[in-house]
Chain A
């Protein structure tokens, strides 16, 4: 009894060790790829600099800089999930490297876990840089605790988009994933009430927006900013959770379908 408990504890420590090293290497690997890391940072930060100062295009009941910091962060987080995670997994899926990982004793879940951790770290950087600029150059009136809450909500909303990216990665072939992700990414930004704020959208597009995961993630973040626009925060959380589960289920189904198949 004692022995088996000892064994489980050792097993758990072993798994944690793999998770730690795999995540660390994943992060280091991506950080050293400038084309990869810079492209994830440039667009959201650029959008924030463009709209965040001066252009008063955001909703009226919220500080303009704060609104655009939230919206741009949301854009960054979606990019990390779809491109940083989704396209990356799709590309690796087409290469023999993943096959070697699969025949090693590393549990396959660790591979995905490490990529989620890497994505969350990248999201954290994007969010912190944008809010750092907002605080340094702008003067949004916001309590420190609330600011932290906004950042946590934004960073955590990487997860549904990783799930969406994962579903696409396993649904379509490695060569088409990039194109499909582009098809999904732009509507998330334009129809989900991010680049074009929800209030500005015409009525018929507002109903489309509510179906977008991006709509729910920005609304949830705006809840943290204390702007109550639509349904309660719990509804947004529930919708995002349901989307995540659904996307992961699709990915898992197709993962097992192509077990042992490579495209290399």
Chain B
């Protein structure tokens, strides 16, 4: 499950509430049947935060072994190293790790208690593509073991890949709660662009058009079934030029959705 939303949407606040670091003013939260922040909940939860100030003089294995002692039923050391893909780095001190390797260790620390619930807060922000792909693969590996993974992200691609349920939030409100394909179809998966003599209002009446946008003297239409849209557009405007049909930039599309709903 992924909480998706732009910066300031309320994802981190939600995380703090679920972890018991912040107190609820109303309503109720239950974590695996326990109160948020209770030891019972903490023992079954692993958390990966965007942390600073990690002790640099301790080695990868010292960090992991220390976190393992916090849990009654911890995950085997070798298994953690394996899932987090830290082979060969066990003896290295935190201070000498690269950014990506550090993120892997943060992930490993979240695994230490063999958690039923894994909470990841922006796990791949500031990561290069290769490390990001590798961490995604590791998270998927963990998911296959029938565990729940909750993800905070502003990256739609990440949410789509790792979650089978996306909750779109902005300004503390849920905008959508659906499986990834439905979220996609909400924003339109294809972009059709052309120079045309039709007005924006006429274009928005075309079949299948979800939204329109002007850019670079072109008009862009977003739709899920571009064939019928294009057919109707060509029928209405015989002078249409520079026709392009491309997959929509999902990132922009979802940002538009967030802005549209909260405005």
Using a CB–CB cutoff of 8 Å, the interface residues on chain A facing chain B are 14, 17-18, 21-22, 25, 28-30, 32-33, 91-92, 94-100, 102-107, 259-260, 264
Contact = CB atoms under 8 A, between A and B. Distances in A.
11 contacts: A17-B69, A22-B69, A25-B62, A33-B57, A96-B52, A100-B109, A102-B21, A103-B42, A103-B45, A105-B71, A259-B21
A14 B70 CA distance: 8
A102 B39 CA distance: 11
B42 A99 contact: no
Interface in B38-63: 39, 42-43, 45, 47, 49-55, 57-58, 62
Given A96-B51, A104-B67, 13 more contacts: A25-B55, A28-B58, A29-B55, A94-B53, A95-B51, A99-B21, A99-B51, A100-B49, A102-B21, A103-B37, A103-B45, A105-B71, A264-B53
A18 B70 contact: yes
A107 B54 CA distance: 19
Interface centre among B22, B43, B49 (most CB of A within 10 A): B49
Given A21-B66, A260-B16, A260-B23, A97 B42 contact: no
A30 B57 CA distance: 8
A87 to B, nearest CB: 14
Contact of A106 (B20, B22, B70): B70
B72 interface: yes
A17 B65 CA distance: 12
Contacts of A259: 21
Contact of A105 (B22, B66, B113): B113
B43 A264 contact: no
B19 interface: yes
Contacts of A14: 72
B66 A22 contact: yes
B109 to A, nearest CB: 7
Contacts of A104: 42, 47, 67, 70, 113
